[in-house]
């Protein structure tokens, strides 16, 4: 399986964010992961549209935007205008998921849906044929640096089986506690897009860390 790596800037040094983006790109990362938290849907506040807009010109990599917010529909245009290449929102929102997907796709970018660790993976099945990816959270969303939750491996396996059964090419992204020991486990379960923050940005040799994430054994 062709494993791709998305570097989560939640763990980057924000005093040198432009340099951190370049380091991720030079180290072979495939995407930049941009976590947006509103302090309501999850118990933390991160950053938003102005930060995305300010760093868009500092990287040629696709920007993988994860909206951990209560009402993503209201912000699709703003994040797309700021430079998002892909937007993922949560299955657990109260609004119409198809309406959010419609809006994302109408802007000419790709859509994804994320599920928290305790959300049944079957809830995303009705939308699979419209999604570029499904993001399986392997920690509770809200804070970086958490430990990996092993039970999420079963959800990844079930989702991969459903994607294969339906003949789709939907990607499975994972985020939370992804590092040297957990990357092979999620890859064997069926994930092909790995988000990593602390493991990458806290490493002295990010290139070696990226390569470590891509190994499947």
Task: Please give the positions annotated as active site.
Answer: 35, 175
Residue 88 parent element (H or E): strand 86-90
Q: Is residue 135 within 8 Å of residue 156, measured between CB atoms?
A: no
- The CA distance from 133 to 69, in Å, is 18
The C-alpha atoms of residue 110 and residue 104 are separated, in whole angstroms, by 7
Q: Are strands 31-37 and 4-8 parallel, antiparallel or unpaired?
A: parallel
CA distances for 52 relative to 39, 103, 126, 171, angstroms? 18, 19, 31, 24
Name the phi and psi angles at 91, rounded to 5: -65, -25
Judge contact between 10 and 144, C-beta under 8 A.
yes
């Amino acid at each position: 399986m062709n494993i791709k790596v998305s570097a989560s800037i939640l763990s980057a040094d924000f005093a040198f964010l432009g340099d951190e983006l370049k380091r991720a790109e030079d180290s072979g990362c495939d995407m930049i992961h941009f976590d947006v938290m509103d302090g309501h849907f999850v118990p933390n506040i991160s950053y938003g549209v102005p930060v995305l807009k300010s760093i868009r010109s500092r990287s040629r990599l696709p920007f993988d935007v994860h909206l951990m917010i209560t009402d993503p529909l209201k912000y699709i245009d703003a994040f797309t205008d700021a430079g998002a290449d892909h937007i993922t929102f949560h299955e657990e929102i109260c609004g119409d998921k198809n309406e959010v997907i419609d809006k994302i796709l109408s802007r000419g970018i790709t859509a994804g849906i994320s599920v928290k660790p305790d959300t049944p993976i079957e809830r995303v099945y009705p939308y699979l044929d419209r999604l570029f990816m499904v993001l399986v959270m392997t920690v509770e969303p809200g804070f970086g640096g958490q430990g990996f939750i092993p039970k999420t491996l079963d959800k990844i396996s079930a989702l991969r089986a459903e994607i294969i059964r339906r003949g789709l090419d939907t990607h499975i992204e994972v985020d939370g506690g992804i590092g040297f020991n957990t990357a092979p486990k999620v890859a064997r379960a069926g994930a092909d897009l790995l988000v990593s923050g602390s493991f990458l940005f806290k490493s002295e040799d990010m290139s070696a860390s990226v390569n470590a994430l891509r190994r499947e054994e």
